[in-house]
């Protein structure tokens, strides 16, 4: 079929692709030195010039020599503003100048004022998605790589999970430190691999140029139900051996993390020196959610490749999804612990809601496998859950809830938590007025709270004075304020 043919490469083409991969990896190393975790300046135009040179080196047979001088002029003109000063505008000019220079040098159809737009569409919007299919086509040209791929996916994803767990769990980080004399694990960064992945995806279309001309036929859209589809890109990789080995490794890794959460998060065992439960909770919540999302993506890919029917794979998938649900529950508990120490904010409530949605999504994946529903059913149910959640959130007075919780649970109210943050109360708007009044009683010496109260009260009066700004929530607040004058004890 056509989908399979596109992933097949001849040995000669494979050798050419390996040459391009080497150039791309060299550019990735340069990007890491010049751009990662650095204050950008001259390094950005230097990398753009190197990207242009590497693109011509990897595609020397495509160079259109009559326009080479014009392309170099366009490149230099694009780099000059960034050399003068790196601003948002100069960055945009560098990007447009670089892609235009590449197009003028290598694309025979690049003409007119629309060259930057056409090049941006093909190099920046479509091109980054070429990396995975091109890599698969190159690897499949060699039979030996099929053996390597059987283990590469389980080991590579296991390494990613270990890095995420190390970022979330100080105990795992200490174990990794003890395995390496230089203590590299203590400086593990989740951001660096993500930067590498994004950069190599952006670099690759410049190295393996594939200009698409107008008028050529496009691939048909993918049917979510899975009927009459071309073979999935991941199908050659996610065979039964790969999926089984992956699930066994993943279940073992997740079991370790689940056990450690049971000991430290739920069992309240003593944490490593210098680590409080609040810090432990805040550090681990978001990496674990990223882990659960990555795990969900793998399960969906494995199911899409038709491997869930195996008697061995199905229980392993159930076990792993169950462990991921426990991982999300642990993340919710971590945020809850952090809230108990540092009170509520809008972002912390949003994080709890998002984590609950992730848990629902994982449960729906399991239901999709058990009920043997198509992928379209999974998409519809997740969209329905999201819509119901957003609709419910629109009816909840989160600002009033946050303000009331923060004042009631504050240090001034006799709890062993953070102090009242009057500035944050003010940012919550008029719905915080009842909480501000209670805070004024708890902190009579704070001169800022009466000013906040008067400003919010004036806003409330102005909103209720006109029918155009009237709301049922505002009307309920006004009734509360009328029934509880400031001279009375709001509690």
Q: Name the pLDDT band for 228 (thresholds 50, 70, 90).
A: very low
Q: Tell me the average pLDDT across 54-82.
A: 85
User: Beta-strand (E) ranges in 93-234?
Assistant: none
Q: Name the pLDDT band for 220 (thresholds 50, 70, 90).
A: very low
| pLDDT recorded at residue 381 | 93
**Higher-confidence position of 281 and 329:** 329
Least confident of 142-146, 163-167, 266-270: 142-146
Residues 463-483 pLDDT 10s:
888 888 888 999 999 999 999
Share of the chain above pLDDT 70, in %: 78
| pLDDT higher than threshold 90 for residue 355 | no
Give which of 284, 321, 287, 288 is closest to 302, Cα–Cα: 321
Q: Name the pLDDT band for 227 (thresholds 50, 70, 90).
A: very low
Per-residue CA distances from 99 to 17, 28, 116, 119, 131 (Å): 21, 18, 7, 6, 18
User: CA torsion sign, 184 to 189 to 194 to 196?
Assistant: negative
| pLDDT higher than threshold 50 for residue 218 | no
| pLDDT recorded at residue 232 | 44
| pLDDT recorded at residue 184 | 47
Q: Tell me the average pLDDT across 67-90.
A: 86
Share of the chain above pLDDT 90, in %: 15
Per-residue CA distances from 119 to 116, 201, 209, 214, 389 (Å): 5, 16, 11, 13, 40
Q: Is the pTM of this model over 0.85?
A: no
Cα–Cα distance, 53 to 48 (Å, whole number): 9
Average pLDDT, the chain: 78
Tell me the chain's radius of gyration from C-alpha atoms.
Answer: 28
**Higher-confidence position of 433 and 323:** 433
Give which of 418, 432, 421 is closest to 460, Cα–Cα: 432
Domain positions in the chain: 2-134, 238-390, 398-483
Q: Tell me the average pLDDT across 353-380.
A: 87
| pLDDT higher than threshold 90 for residue 20 | no
| pLDDT recorded at residue 407 | 92
| pLDDT recorded at residue 348 | 87
Least confident of 73-87, 224-238, 335-349: 224-238
Cα–Cα distance, 120 to 311 (Å, whole number): 47
| pLDDT higher than threshold 80 for residue 405 | yes
């Amino acid at each position: 079929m056509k989908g399979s043919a596109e992933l097949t490469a001849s040995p000669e083409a494979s050798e050419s692709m390996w040459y391009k991969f080497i150039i791309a990896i060299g550019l990735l190393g340069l990007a890491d030195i010049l751009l990662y975790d650095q204050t950008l300046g001259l390094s950005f135009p230097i990398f753009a010039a190197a990207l242009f040179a590497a693109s011509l080196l990897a595609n020397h047979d495509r160079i259109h020599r009559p326009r080479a001088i014009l392309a170099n002029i366009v490149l230099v003109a694009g780099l000059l503003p960034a050399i003068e000063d790196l601003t948002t505008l100069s960055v945009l000019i560098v990007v447009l100048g670089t892609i235009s220079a590449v197009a003028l040098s290598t694309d025979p159809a690049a003409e007119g004022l629309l060259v930057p737009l056409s090049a941006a569409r093909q190099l920046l919007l479509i091109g980054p998605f070429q990396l995975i299919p091109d890599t698969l086509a190159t690897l499949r040209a060699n039979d030996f790589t099929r053996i390597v791929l059987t283990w590469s996916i389980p080991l590579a994803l296991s390494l990613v999970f270990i890095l995420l767990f190390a970022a979330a769990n100080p105990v795992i980080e200490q174990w990794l430190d003890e395995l390496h004399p230089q203590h590299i694990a203590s400086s593990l960064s989740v951001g660096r691999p993500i930067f590498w992945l994004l950069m190599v995806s952006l670099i690759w279309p410049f190295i393996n140029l594939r200009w698409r001309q107008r008028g050529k036929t496009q691939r048909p859209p993918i049917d979510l139900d899975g009927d009459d589809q071309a073979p999935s890109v991941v199908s050659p990789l996610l065979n039964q051996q790969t999926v089984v080995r992956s699930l066994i490794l993943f279940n073992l890794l997740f079991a370790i993390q689940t056990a450690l959460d049971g000991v430290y998060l739920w069992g309240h065992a003593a944490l490593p020196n210098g680590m409080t439960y609040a810090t432990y909770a805040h550090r681990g919540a978001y990496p674990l959610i990223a882990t659960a999302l990555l795990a969900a993506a793998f399960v969906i890919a494995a199911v899409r490749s038709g491997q869930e029917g195996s008697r061995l794979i199905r229980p392993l998938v159930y076990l792993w999804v169950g462990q991921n649900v426990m991982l999300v529950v642990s993340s919710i508990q971590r945020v809850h612990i952090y809230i108990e120490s540092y009170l509520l904010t809008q972002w912390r409530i949003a994080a709890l809601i998002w984590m609950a949605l992730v848990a629902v999504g994982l449960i729906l994946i399991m239901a999709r496998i058990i009920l043997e529903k198509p992928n379209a059913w999974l998409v519809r149910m997740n969209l329905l859950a999201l819509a119901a959640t957003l609709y419910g959130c629109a009816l909840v007075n989160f600002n009033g809830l946050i303000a009331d919780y923060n004042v009631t649970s504050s240090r001034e109210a006799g709890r062993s938590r953070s102090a009242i943050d009057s500035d944050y109360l003010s940012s919550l708007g008029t719905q915080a007025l009842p909480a501000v009044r209670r805070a004024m009683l708890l902190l009579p010496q704070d001169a800022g709270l009466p000013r906040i109260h008067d400003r919010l009260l004036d806003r409330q009066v102005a909103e209720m004075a006109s029918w155009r700004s009237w709301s049922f929530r505002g009307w309920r607040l006004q009734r509360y304020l009328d029934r509880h004058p400031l001279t009375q004890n709001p509690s």
